[in-house]
Amino acid sequence: MLFAANMRRIRKEKELTQEKVAEGADLHVNYISSVERGERNISICNIERIALALGVPMTELVTEDGARPRSD
């Protein structure tokens, strides 16, 4: 559910619809919707496609609070 929550939060922050994310990731909108609801086990390839569509690094989708690694 961490991935799903981060994906939804980022999508909404960027004011993107599920349709826009699906289009950018070249995935079906029903797939994007079910991923956001946590109903699917998602492959690393599709994580990458969704991250690219959202314009974020993959790590932002799979870490607590979408935290980015600190550059100390």
For the chain, domain boundaries:
2-60
Average pLDDT over residues 22-39: 97
pLDDT for 68:
54
pTM score, whole prediction: 0.86
- 67: pLDDT confidence band, cut at 50, 70 and 90? low
Alpha helices per DSSP H over the chain = 2-13, 18-25, 29-36, 44-54, 58-62
The CATH superfamily assigned to 2-60 is: lambda repressor-like DNA-binding domains (1.10.260.40)
% the chain with pLDDT above 90? 86
pLDDT reading at 70 higher than 50: no
User: Residues 8-30: pLDDT tens digits?
Assistant: 999 999 999 999 999 999 999 99
